[in-house]
Amino acid sequence: MDDEPIVRWYWIGDHLGYLGHLLADHAVIALVPVLIGLLLAVPLGLACARYPRLYQPLSAVFNIVYALPSLAVFVVLIPYTGLATQATVMIPLTFYALAVLLPTTVDGLRAVPDAVRQAATAMGYGPWHRLTSVELPAAVPYLIAGLRVAAVSSISLASVGALVGRGGLGYLFVDGFQRTFPTPIVAGIALIAVLALAVDLLLVAARRLLAPWAVREKGAGS
Amino acid sequence: MNWLNWLSDFFTDPDHLSGPDSIAHRVSEHLLLSGEALLYAALLAVPLGLLIGYTGRGVTAVTALAGAARALPTLGLVTLAVLLAGVGDTAVLMPLVALAAPPLLVAAVEGVRGTDPDVRDAARGIGLTHPQVLRQVCLPSAAPTLLAGFRTATVQVIATATVAAYVGLGGLGRYVIDGLATRQYAVTVGGALLVVLLAVSAQLFFALLARFALPPGLRAQQRPR
């Protein structure tokens, strides 16, 4: 591997279609779980904000879930979901996303000042109307901060799925390593970084659009 | 085959009880590699983070860097490092250090910046020099945040060190990777469970440390993560 350059550009030129296909697969595997995580986090977060007793045990559970090594979880799921299936990788990623999004949702809902809530009630808003037009919009900056962390981590984690046969761009790492050919690895790292950056910028743009009042960045709650 | 069969197969296999493929040996390899990575990351990130947090210079850069580091796929870094530097501890340590350093850096910066400014001023007022303030006032007050940073970094490194087996190193990842390659799910699942156990123990260890090792005055101000 002494004469092998780190990047052979012609390989990238020859494989553009292939790289595009892996990129699309990666985006699905990594981002659909974040969307599902969001759909689960909002109702769960509402329940937790209303019943704080529920939040304590749930947040403890998700703290542990977040610490579970992704490769180990993929492997444990294989007997149920099969080798090299999307589900094997997407189910754990959904839980990781939920583990990030639940605390941020609860923080966001709790951050609505009581005065605002009371003002909405005084103006004649019912509980449902108040939720959809006052409390959820106020939580949007928090939700988006959480989504940024969840999406970027998910994009990077999904590549580990290549070790169990389904990792989108992660396949390039396995392929390049087996052939002692660094070009696909470099291409994979670069495309994952580009995908993460693109999603991050989209989310920042979404925050500008949905929550123009939130000029400063709200705590992401790592 | 079910779970109990797999686990009893895994834990009673004579190869897993003694010798180079024994569970005890693999766990110690795993902990050694993780510990080494954490040590280098701490030596690199903590002093730098304390300095940045104290002076307040470069905080934005640190936040941006930590966000960007999250996007780096460790499997890619590990395979690339091995192709470029050859199989060995150094090649695998570099990505692990790169993984552990950002949370430690952020924790050090945030911890020092979280020091009550009045307390800092008072310490200056009674004649402490800047290095003394940093060491005697800011460092203790940053301890809870630093500890949380170490917990995040440790758990991530233990999880990711599993991947090191893919490029030929030891540790618990050996079971996972070898089991997958030979289609022996008992081995794979056993190894995976051991990694989970190790990661959860590390979480518990840091939770206990935060409860018992911190000065009493600091325990109350810890915010739940």
Q: Model ipTM?
A: 0.82
pLDDT, chain B, mean: 86
- Name the pTM for this structure: 0.83
The answer, yes or no, to whether residue A149 has pLDDT greater than 50, is yes
Q: How far is B137 from chain A (nearest CA, A)?
A: 25
Q: B24-53 burial string, b = 16+ CB within 10 Å, else e?
A: ebbbebbbebbebbbebbbebbbebbbebb
- Mean pLDDT of the B45-60 span: 91
| Largest Cα–Cα separation, chain B | 71
> Which of B2, B5, B75 should be substituted to probe chain A, the one whose Cβ sees the most A Cβ atoms within 10 Å?
B75
What residues in B contact A155, CB-CB < 8 Å? 71
Would you say residue A217 has pLDDT above 70? Answer: no
Distance of alpha carbon B78 from the chain centroid: 16
- Give me the pLDDT at residue A79, please: 81
Q: Scanning every residue of chain B, which has its alpha carbon at the shortest distance from the alpha carbon of A194?
A: B71
Is the Cα torsion angle B50, B55, B60, B65 positive or negative in sign? negative
Answer whether residue B74 shows pLDDT above 90: no
pLDDT tier for residue A220 given thresholds of 50, 70 and 90: very low
Q: B131-145: per-residue pLDDT in tens?
A: 999 988 888 888 889
Whether pLDDT at B224 is above 80:
no
How many CB atoms within 10 Å of residue B224?
Answer: 9
Confidence (pLDDT) at A99: 92
Decide if A163 and B166 are in contact by the 8 Å CB cutoff. yes
When the pLDDT of each residue in chain A is averaged and rounded to a whole number, the result is 87
Q: Does B223 touch chain A (CB under 8 A)?
A: no
What's the token pair of residue A153?
A: 């981590």
The answer to whether A31 and A154 are in contact (CB under 8 A) is yes
Binary contact (B180, A164; C-beta < 8 A): yes
Please state the rounded mean pLDDT for residues A31-43. 95
Within 10 angstroms of residue B181's Cβ, the number of other Cβ atoms is 11
Query: Is the model's pLDDT at A16 over the cut of 60?
Result: yes
pLDDT at A218: 44
In angstroms, the CA A112 to CA A75 distance is 41
pLDDT of residue B218: 67
Q: According to the model, what pLDDT value does residue A33 have?
A: 96
Burial class (CB in 10 A: 0-12, 13-18, 19+), A174: buried
How many Å apart are CA B59 and CA B50, to the nearest integer?
A: 11
**A192: Cα separation from own chain's centroid:** 13
What are the pLDDT digits (tens) for B185-223?
888 888 888 998 998 899 889 988 888 877 766 665 544
Nearest to A159 among B75, B159, B192 (CB): B75
Question: Average pLDDT, stretch A82-106?
Answer: 90
pLDDT at residue A3, as a whole number:
65
Q: Is the pLDDT of residue A221 over 60?
A: no
pLDDT number for residue B31 = 94
Query: What are the tens digits of pLDDT across the range A158-184?
Result: 999 998 888 899 999 999 999 989 999
pLDDT for A222: 36
Beta carbons of A72 and B196 less than 8 Å apart: yes
Cα separation, A4 vs A1, whole angstroms: 5
Question: Residue A124: is its pLDDT beyond 50?
Answer: yes
Shortest Cα distance, chain B CAs vs residue A115, angstroms? 25
**pLDDT (mean) for A128-137:** 86
